[in-house]
Structure 1
Amino acid sequence: MSDDKEKAELDDAQVNGNEAIERGHDPVTVEKLGLGKVTSKLFTWGVETRGIYPVPLHQRVDRNFHKIFFIWLAMNFNILSFSAGTSGPLVYSLGLRDSCLIILFINLLCCIPPAYMSTWGPKLGLRTMCLSRYSFGFYCISVPCILGLATMTGFMILNCILGGQTLSAVSGGDLSWTYERLSWIPVLIVYLVALGVGGKHLSNPPPSEPATAEHILTFASVLAGFVLTYCPMGCDFTTYMDSRVSQWRIFWYSYLGFIIPVITIQCLGAAFAVSIPVVPSWSAAYVDQSLGDLFVAVLRPTGGFGKFLTVLLSLSVTANIAPTMYSFGLTFQVFIPYCAHLPRFVFAVLATAMKDAYWARRHLISVIPLSIVGAHRYYATLTNFLGLIGYWASNFIAVVLVEHFLFRAHPEWFLPSSTTTTTSSPSLSKHSPTPNSALMNKNSTGDPFAQYLLRDWNTPSLLPSGIPALLSSIISYGLVIPCMDQAWFIGPVAQKTGDIGFEVAFILTVLFYVPLRWVEVDGWTLVYEAIILGALDTDTVLDYRQWQKEQ
């Protein structure tokens, strides 16, 4: 999309709220709630107040593209990635070689979608869930929002479990780019010291039983669920970056930010997990399945310094929780559209207030009590959670990517001739339907981003219905459920193959979404013809049919 065209589209969007687009929230609503002075003061201090309002082109000027590398690096360079790697040997009885090979190839493949979706932020200035309205519609996007909120809450719970376990083992507002850029360094030091102290036990891993297809595929589904669920937040951190940047540049920064920490730390976790049974002090410390106790045992030769390093490791989870809370607030605004009028910091304050209220009144459900419950069965919590979220993430990715690469990039394959805005029939020019984000412009092909009309981002009637996206996802579960392998249910197919639910979910969603979306796109024209042509005289209808043939 050219800069001039995009600017024109944003100007159209600003007709009904220029100041709201510029500030990222509705100043009228903020004043009504008595937050005007507070918001203005925070804005002057550099606190981000923008929620899901599109970022105007002139505000997309950040050229520090390395930021996105460090944010993905920090989010994954922590103890949660380590724990995911340990599940291969500890839960699925896989050897070190098999675990590392699965970790390598699954992550090389599954890190591609979230890295690619990070490239959309600079192009459109839209947050991920807001951008997903162009495939799931204004109302149906609520379902992915609910699942996304549950997923982010689940990840925060897992992080709190690990952070709490690690910390207990020792003792018996604005997203900070600086923190995310540096937070991984102490974690790296911890892992290097752990390797230096315990590396002698990793050189000769014990022999393992041959890997079975069931265990390989089920472990692969857990790893896929770990990274694929970053897709619903992929654009959230890149919307302020310069729109003229090459997509490849953003992609490689993001991709490397994923694969370097995820593959490295998960393989390290698998290596330590394999050696637990042959090192008496490690197996004694791990009797309660606490990774915190394991790290204390590994670092015990360093004395008090080891405890200090374990404290640093426990605090590393904040580098994942902080960006997750950032995306949580944005997703909540898409889920409840009225909240889009409020500045984003309101949701950070609300989350903090909920936590404080729990401690004060002991009756609110929050991340902390759920973390306490999950800590008693951590690996059951981890594997069940990652396996389940991988299913819906596959549905989401399939819909968004098919919409982008097929319907947005090649609308001429699906749109009838009558949907073009340029007509050679003067008598029908006034009756031609105006292309919007549901009924795409056939004449504008080649660049899929040109089909995302930003003026439509918050107008339900100008967005797709979302029914094809929702229906194709739901239908896919007719075969996904028999392919599930969870602690509480093992489907008949999964009994023979292992968990292949996320692969099946992706393939079936693609197969169902294409025809359903095509019917929706062509259906708009059929409705148009039934209403408009039914009110026209016979000669005009014949003229219209002749024009269709010529096109």
Structure 2
Amino acid sequence: MADVEKQQPLSESMSSSESELQRQEAGLWSRLGYYNQRLETAMGIEARGIERVPDDERPDRRLWGNLTVWLSANCVLPTFGVGILGPLTFRMHLGDSMLTIFFFVVFAAMLPAFCSTFGPRLGLRQMTSSRYSWGYWGSKGVAFLNCIACVGWSTANTIAGAQALCAVGEWRFSAAVGTVIIAIGTLIVGMFGYRHVHMYEQFAWVPTAITFFVIIGVAAKHLVNEPMAFGRAEAASVLSFGGVIWGFNIGWVSLASDYNVYMPSDAPSWQVFMWTYLGIAVPCVLVMWLAAAIAAAALAGADPTNAGTAIAGWYARYEEHELGGLLYEVMVRPMGGGGKFFMVLLVLSVVANNIINVYSMGMSISVITRYLQVVPRLIWPLVITGIYIPLAIVGANAFADTLEYFLGVLGYWLAIFVTVVIEEHFIFQRGKFANYHAEETWNDRTRLPWGLGALGAFGFGVAGAVVGMSQVWYTGPLGAKVGGAQGGDIGFELASGFTAVMYPLFRTLEIRLLGR
């Protein structure tokens, strides 16, 4: 008894010491957070990070802002770059390219539009709201993957812009110059936060849309079409090209709600969905259709019977300089200086797309670990810019390959991510945002799911992607069967399907065994 009595004060003392350390640590983070907020406020930069936006601090009542932010992000040069892949990479013609674009965009755009409804209703960024399906710890892994995706997007987009800018200079300077110019433009706007992003994106689509109309006027007389192919090889091309389109559109699901968290919580979800859907689907369909038409004509120019024609020059220049070369032949050859002016506008459109990645990566980093939340948020745009500039310079001459490989892999993991989010919402939360109790639970790990159900489903989803993918570096057994020797990519379809079957099972077990 005496020994016990002697040990008890020691135990109490240790507990008291631990509590004191915790209080000191909390005080340290609180002070660092305070100075971080003072710094960002003084510079006119949005200070709030991943924290829930209270209902009484949401001044943005312009629901149509969901339209303009996504319209500007998708009415861009990289969208055009995706559209040319159908004819010039997968050797499809105009009719089958346009049908593939239409059906894959119309369906895929629904997913980021759905995810965007979480912003006003929960007041949380996309990676933060993913805690309700992926768990407090699982969301960290998802946020890490999203950081990689943001870097990949920025790299691919910048390569497209750099190629076009090099064409404007008639290849007298290196792609590194164009890369740095685009990166600086993105950095200036992206580091100032939500309000400035919306201000820029409200008008950024206008000069780009005008440029695409100019391209139609200049190129229309040269456009040609050939009959659609058929058979297993054609099916493989449709599936593989569709997978690239899917990856481009679904890429927004991991950050869609980042751009409407300051909108009122009573905003009708159907309106948020509608504006976001139109902002993604309409420019993607129209710009990719234009690109496919240009590319189909260029592909026809490869036929010896078209030697000496304008479209023969299109294909030859594309072979030499990829996207930048093709645009040079289409615009600069017939228009001279005017064509160069409009190409510069296309280069600047890349900024509107990259801003989204630069801004959202800072949010994703803060979800990965709380220790990074005290780092001034203006640092993260500098970090991502420092990462993607050298990557874009290295890949400057491989836009088509970079886009095809990146979007294919991106489509796999995001298909898994959004399937889990959708099933959690409609099956376990019964489609009601009120069931999340976001105000009290968003940062309470004791009330959030463990995330084991999502992790188990993720494993099966990856298995589905592996057996169904068809990439240059690997073709799964089912992917090979779909398209024969060429292979057809059904990776994202199987990833979604496997995840959709397994998540409800794993999540039900998680709730019954662990209680949440």
TM-score (normalizing by structure 1): 0.78
Deviations 1:226-268 (A, max 9, x none): 1112101011001000111111111110000011110001111
1:298 to 317, 323, 330: 330
Secondary structure of 1:242's match? coil
1:159 to 153, 157, 162: 157
Aligned-residue offset at 1:375 = 2.3
Q: What is the correspondence of 1:258-273 to structure 2 with a 5 Å cutoff? A: 258-273=280-295
| Moved >4 Å (runs of 4+) | 34-37, 349-352
Aligned-residue offset at 1:207 = 4.2
Deviations 1:297-332 (A, max 9, x none): 111211111111111111110001112111110011
Contact preservation (8 Å) 2:106, 2:281: yes
Aligned-residue offset at 1:185 = 1.3
Secondary structure of 1:458's match? coil
The 1:40–1:197 alpha-carbon spacing in structure 2 relative to 1, beyond 3 Å, is: closer
Q: What is the correspondence of 1:236-385 to structure 2 with a 5 Å cutoff? A: 236-277=258-299, 278=301, 279-299=311-331, 300-351=333-384, 355=386, 366-385=387-406
Aligned-residue offset at 1:484 = 0.7
2:415 to 371, 374, 394: 394
Corresponding residue number in structure 2 for 1:39: 40
Secondary structure of 2:418's match? helix
Corresponding residue number in structure 1 for 2:511: 521
Contact preservation (8 Å) 1:59, 1:240: yes
C-alpha distance in structure 2 between counterparts of 1:109 and 1:117, whole Å? 14
The 1:240–1:474 alpha-carbon spacing in structure 2 relative to 1, beyond 3 Å, is: same
Q: What is the correspondence of 1:445-464 to structure 2 with a 5 Å cutoff? A: 447-464=432-449
Q: Which runs of 5+ in 2 are unaligned?
A: 1-22, 172-190, 302-310, 483-487
Secondary structure of 1:92's match? coil
Aligned-residue offset at 1:291 = 1.2
Contact preservation (8 Å) 1:282, 1:298: yes
C-alpha distance in structure 2 between counterparts of 1:60 and 1:342, whole Å? 24
Aligned-residue offset at 1:284 = 2.5
Which stretch of structure 1 is more off in the superposition, 59-68 or 238-247?
Answer: 59-68
Corresponding residue number in structure 1 for 2:57: 59
Structure (1/2) with the larger helix percentage: 2
Q: Which has the higher contact order (CA 8 A, sep 6+)?
A: 2
The 1:40–1:282 alpha-carbon spacing in structure 2 relative to 1, beyond 3 Å, is: closer
Corresponding residue number in structure 1 for 2:19: none
C-alpha distance in structure 1 between counterparts of 2:230 and 2:91, whole Å? 9
Q: Please, what is the CA RMSD of the aligned residues?
A: 2.2
2:206 to 171, 175, 185: 185
One-letter amino acid of the structure 2 residue matched with residue 28 of structure 1: R
1:209 to 204, 229, 232: 229
Contact preservation (8 Å) 1:292, 1:310: no
TM-score (normalizing by structure 2): 0.83
One-letter amino acid of the structure 2 residue matched with residue 281 of structure 1: G
Corresponding residue number in structure 2 for 1:422: none
Which stretch of structure 1 is more off in the superposition, 224-233 or 285-294?
Answer: 285-294
The 1:408–1:256 alpha-carbon spacing in structure 2 relative to 1, beyond 3 Å, is: same
Q: Percent identity?
A: 35
How many residues matched? 451
Does 1:119 find its partner at 2:117?
Answer: yes
2:478 to 485, 493, 497: 493
C-alpha distance in structure 2 between counterparts of 1:351 and 1:402, whole Å? 32
The 1:455–1:190 alpha-carbon spacing in structure 2 relative to 1, beyond 3 Å, is: same
One-letter amino acid of the structure 1 residue matched with residue 213 of structure 2: L
Contact preservation (8 Å) 1:169, 1:296: yes
One-letter amino acid of the structure 2 residue matched with residue 65 of structure 1: L
Contact preservation (8 Å) 1:380, 1:487: no
1:405 to 423, 426, 431: 426
Q: Which runs of 5+ in 1 are unaligned?
A: 1-16, 356-365, 410-445, 528-551
Which stretch of structure 1 is more off in the superposition, 249-258 or 378-387?
Answer: 378-387
C-alpha distance in structure 1 between counterparts of 2:319 and 2:90, whole Å? 18
